[in-house]
Structure formats: C-alpha cells, structure tokens
Amino acid sequence: MKSAVTSPRARTAWVSATALALVLAGCGSSSENETEQPRDGNVGVQLFQWSWEAIAAECEAELGPAGYSWVLTSPPQEHIVGDQWWTSYQPVSYQVESRLGTREQFAAMVETCDSAGVKIIADAVINHMTGQDSPGVGWAGSEYEPYRYPGIYEPEDFHYCDTPDHDIHVYSDAYQVQFCELVNLSDLATESPHVREQIGAYLDDLLSLGVAGFRIDAAKHMPAEDVAAIVGALPEDTVIMQEVIRSAGEPIQPEDYLDSGDVFEFTWGREIQPIVGRSSIRMYFKMGETSIYAPSEQAISFVENHDTERNGEAFTYHDGASYVLANILTLAHPYGTPVVYSGYAFSERDTGAITGADGAVVDAECELPDDPASAAWVDGQWVCQHRWPAISAMVQWRNVAGDAPIVHEWDDRDALAFGRADRAFIVVNRSDEPLTGSWETGLAAGSYRDVISGATVEISGDGTLEATVAGGTALAVHVGAIAQD
Ligand code: AAO
C-alpha cells in the first residue's frame, strides 16, 4: 500500500510543526517577514504545460516563498510531435525528453525546487501509448508504429477489446472502460508482467531524478489491482495521486483505488460552483462529508484542472470574482489536499502553449495585470493564477490554519464566516453589495492585515471583528499577518 500525500507518513514529511512555530514566532513582526512564513503546508499547484526551466525559476522566485509545497508537472516522457497540448498524453517512449525540456533540465528542476522546499509530482501516462493509426517519429527521434514501440512494447502488450473499433463507447460497462481504448489510445495490457516492468522502470527512473511521486493519468482505465501492483513495487513513501473521474452511475469509482494512494476528487469543483453562485451558502460547511467525496486525507481538491478548464464543467480564469472566490473557499476549507491550477489563455480547446522555432514550449513568464480577475487575456499569455494576490495569500492562510478545526461558523443569505481555531478567520461575501457585520473570531486581540485587501483590521479584546467586506470578495486574517503598529 502506498503512502498517500496526507497519510500519516507523508504528512510528517510535508507539514512540519516547525513551520507553524516559525509563523507564530513571527507574530509580532511586520508584513515584510511574510516571505519567511511556512512553506511546508500541503497546497500544490498544477503548472500546466510549463517548461522545466520555467518551473525551476518559479520554485525559487515565487512558489517556495509563497508557501506552495508541491508542483504537478505535465507529462515528462517522449511524446508524438504536434502543436496541440495533448501531444503530451501520447507517449512514444519513456525517455525523459519532451518539448517541455530535456532530462538534464528535468533533473535540475527537481533539485532547484527541492532546495526551495517544493516537491515535484510528475504526471505519469501509463495506461496507454499513442492514438496514432500510422507510423511516426516521436519528439526525441524514437520511431513507432501502431502497437509497436521498438525495444519497449510489441503488439502482444496491448488490449484489443471487442468493440468494433476497440474504443470505449459506454462508461457504464467496466470491461470497456478498462480493456478498450480511451479515445483511440493504444491500451496497455497492464496485467502483463512485461508491461508492468516497463512502467515500473520508467517510474523508478523519475524517482531516481528526485520526484516525490506521480499523478496516475487515466487510472480509471486500468483495473485497480493493476495500479496497485505497479505502485506497490515503488518505494513506500512515493506519493500517488490518481485520476479517477467520479461520475454517477458508473461501475468504477475513486474508492476502488484508495489502497494505492490519493485520488483527485472531482465532486469538489462541481459543488463549489453553486456555493459561489446562488445555492444555499451554508452547504459549504457540509462539503466533503457525503458519500460522493473521498475521505479528506486521501482527496486532492481543486477548482479546475486542464480538462475541466476546457470542457465547461468548472469555473476558470474567465469567471472573474467567482473564480477567485471558488479558490478562496477551496483553500480555506480543511477538506483534502488542494491544488491550484495555473495555465495559459486560449480560445480553442486544443491549442498548445506558445512554442519556439525548435518546437519546444517557450518558458512561461508571469506578467500580472493590476486586477487579474477582470483582465482581458491574450491567447497564449500565461495566466499565472497561482500568483493572483488573493489566491497566493490564501495559500499562506491555509498553511497557518494547518489542521485546526472550523470554529465560529456563521452564515447569512449571501455570506459566510468561520475561524480555524485561534489561528485564522475569514468572511466571504458572494453578493455584489458590501457587507457590514460583527463576528466572533476566536483570535487574540490586535491589528491584523486582511491578506485579501491589504487593509488593517482590528480585533477587539473579546475577539470580535467589526468590518465591511466589499461585494464579491473576502476578508481573511491569520496569526502570521499581524499589522505593524
Ligand atoms: C486526442 C484527440 C482525440 C484522439 C486522440 C488520439 O482529442 O480525438 O482520438 O488524441 O489521437 C488528452 C486530451 C484528449 C487527447 C488525449 C491524447 O483530453 O483530447 O485525445 O489527451 O492526446 C475520460 C478519462 C480521463 C481523461 C478524460 C479526458 O476517464 O482519464 O477522458 N483525462 C486524462 C487527461 C487528459 C488526457 C487523457 C486522460 C489521456 O487528464 O488530458 O486526454 O491521456 C465522463 C467519464 C470520464 C471521462 C469523461 C470524458 O465524465 O466519467 O471518465 O474522462 O466522461 O470522456 C460530467 C459527466 C461525466 C463526465 C464528465 C467529464 O461530470 O457527468 O460523466 O462530465 O468531465
């Protein structure tokens, strides 16, 4: 059984008690000390289609100081050639050579990020190879043909299911989901010892380059026992995050995979939308509790990922204040291990990130407008959601809140408020109108910085906060951001 990101073993490694001590020690200090706040929480960021060199630079400049603990990269293996982003998801070989960078650049990225206190989780595409019907040459020069990847796989290493085109047509049929081809992608026979060995060697290779673990792409399309056998051969502390999209009425569910590690919980993004919108706001306090949620300690929570950003199912950077509120609420809730999404602007679903003359993705640069939530983004521009001030501020808020329970729950028609023991407090106002109120916070008296607006707010001797919160935003304070006298 794999140790999951929030299992006791992994938690010891990722959430250090000294981090909180550091914040608390900094209590009396000013906001200039905030870059020294904890970076050992559990918040991750998916840097979609970021090159290895750009990720390395971001770890040092931004992610470590801001308190991000891990980065989910795009797939690092050799892939088919093409302009679309999804070429990354069609492996040609397991060489760590892609248009996101070379093996050396990947290794250097892991080292740089590690030094900045940021772990690397690699996206592992192990369910399938390409979906190409004719021979080709991959990014690093490897030749392939349908169902033949010289030196790696031969035709007997794939599934040929009994639908006419070998494709999955019905998700209610477990056999099709796991033995047919997902959108024509040659489906590896993951029950085969040879296939398991090849995949194991690839994952071991990435571990030797220092990654902390893997996102298992399309885990739903591999029998749970195959995934268990593959990850079971890896070191015990390998972090495993499986993509098993929860859908009502399907026979294969995320719970089937919990023995192998964590799962991305798609329910979170689906339920956070109406909470920001017009449904009963108090349902927020029940999120994570029903049977359509994986247990908190094994769930990755997220507003959107690269698929849901493109399929209309999630809030995205186009949704302005609602998108920011969804991220704030996700980071403020104790449920799960949150991952912030960060990608590039696009109009067409398939369009890849901007590439140079050699076809490699050009290093991401973050040039944030004054108000990113209402900015007009140009296609190809890096949106850098992880740097948006309110989102980045809430990463620290969450790190300070740690595992403290929710206290002082309050809600009104279009607003809610709560504390996290005596460490942090937040008021969220989803209406367009300002909200003026008085809340019991559980925090010690003093002048705090509202980490969302930057304004100073006072908490009185009995722990009460009296404030006005602008429409469509939040007020968030924590014991690591005490305002200077
Ligand atoms: C490309 C072309 C294809 C071509 C193929 C081969 O687009 O036309 O046939 O190449 O040449 C990515 C792209 C694909 C791309 C592929 C390979 O998205 O467009 O194909 O690379 O280059 C299913 C899987 C899930 C998968 C998702 C996209 O279960 O694993 O489809 N995600 C991962 C990656 C993704 C990647 C791959 C897998 C492949 O994140 O980026 O594809 O490596 C239901 C099911 C889900 C199912 C969805 C979509 O979900 O439950 O399991 O996901 O349908 O088919 C509501 C519904 C729910 C529905 C959900 C969708 O909630 O209630 O039923 O919406 O979010």
How confident is the model over 310-360, as pLDDT tens digits? 999 999 999 999 999 999 999 999 999 999 999 999 999 999 999 999 999
Alpha helices in 100-192 (DSSP H): 103-115, 174-179
C-alpha 190/C-alpha 229 separation (Å) is 9
Calculate mean pLDDT across residues 352-375.
Answer: 97
Residue 182 CA to ligand 1 center (angstroms) comes to 7
pLDDT at residue 264 greater than cutoff 50: yes
Residues with CB under 6 A from ligand 1: 86, 89-90, 125, 131, 171, 182-185, 217-218, 220, 243, 245, 247, 250, 306-307, 311, 313
| pLDDT tens digits, one per residue of 219-235 | 999 999 999 999 999 99
Residue 244 CA to ligand 1 center (angstroms) comes to 11
C-alpha 122/C-alpha 214 separation (Å) is 5
Calculate mean pLDDT across residues 454-467.
Answer: 98
Three-class DSSP category at 219: helix
Closest atom of ligand 1 to 308 CA is 66
C-alpha 452/C-alpha 390 separation (Å) is 5
pLDDT band at 14 (very low <50, low <70, confident <90, very high): very low
- Residue closest via CA to ligand 1's atom 9 equals 183
Which one is catalytic: 62, 243, 262, 309? 243
252-257, long-range: CB < 8 A, 24+ apart: 252/174, 252/177, 252/178, 252/220, 254/294, 255/294, 256/224, 257/219, 257/224, 257/227
The best mutation among 257, 307, 309 to test binding of ligand 1, ranked by most ligand atoms within 8 Å of the C-beta, falls on 307
| pLDDT tens digits, one per residue of 109-143 | 999 999 999 999 999 999 999 999 999 999 999 99
Q: What is the DSSP letter of 312?
A: S
C-alpha 111/C-alpha 53 separation (Å) is 11
Closest atom of ligand 1 to 349 CA is 19
Closest Cα to residue 38, out of 403, 460, 365?
403
Q: Is residue 217 annotated as part of the catalytic site, yes or no?
A: yes
Q: In angstroms, what CA-CA distances link 51 with 89, 188, 209, 355?
A: 15, 27, 16, 10
Residue 181 CA to ligand 1 center (angstroms) comes to 11
- Looking at residue 348, what is its pLDDT? 98
C-alpha 176/C-alpha 191 separation (Å) is 15
Which one is catalytic: 53, 181, 217, 363? 217
Question: What's this model's pTM, rounded to 2 decimal places?
Answer: 0.94
Calculate mean pLDDT across residues 187-199.
Answer: 98
Residue 245 CA to ligand 1 center (angstroms) comes to 10
Calculate mean pLDDT across residues 408-437.
Answer: 98
pLDDT at residue 8 greater than cutoff 80: no
- Residue closest via CA to ligand 1's atom 8 equals 183
The best mutation among 46, 172, 245, 341 to test binding of ligand 1, ranked by most ligand atoms within 8 Å of the C-beta, falls on 245
Sign of CA dihedral 272, 296, 217, 167: negative
| pLDDT tens digits, one per residue of 53-88 | 999 999 999 999 999 999 999 999 999 999 999 999
pLDDT at residue 30 greater than cutoff 50: no
- Looking at residue 390, what is its pLDDT? 98
Closest atom of ligand 1 to 311 CA is 66
Contact, 11 vs 245, CB < 8 A? Answer: no
Calculate mean pLDDT across residues 31-38.
Answer: 40
Calculate mean pLDDT across residues 38-64.
Answer: 92
Q: Is residue 243 annotated as part of the catalytic site, yes or no?
A: yes
- Looking at residue 485, what is its pLDDT? 57
- Looking at residue 483, what is its pLDDT? 87
Residue 308 CA to ligand 1 center (angstroms) comes to 10
| pLDDT tens digits, one per residue of 275-309 | 999 899 999 999 999 999 999 999 999 999 999 99
- Residue closest via CA to ligand 1's atom 35 equals 307
C-alpha 299/C-alpha 22 separation (Å) is 27
- Residue closest via CA to ligand 1's atom 41 equals 307
Q: What is the DSSP letter of 152?
A: T
Residue type, 82: G
Residue 278 burial (CB < 10 Å; 0-12/13-18/19+)?
Answer: exposed
pLDDT band at 31 (very low <50, low <70, confident <90, very high): very low
C-alpha 485/C-alpha 474 separation (Å) is 23
| pLDDT tens digits, one per residue of 81-109 | 999 999 999 999 999 999 999 999 999 99
Closest Cα to residue 79, out of 155, 166, 23, 141?
141
Residue 403 CA to ligand 1 center (angstroms) comes to 34
Residue 265 burial (CB < 10 Å; 0-12/13-18/19+)?
Answer: buried
pLDDT at residue 403 greater than cutoff 70: yes
User: For the chain, what is the mean pLDDT?
Assistant: 93
Calculate mean pLDDT across residues 140-164.
Answer: 98
Closest atom of ligand 1 to 248 CA is 63
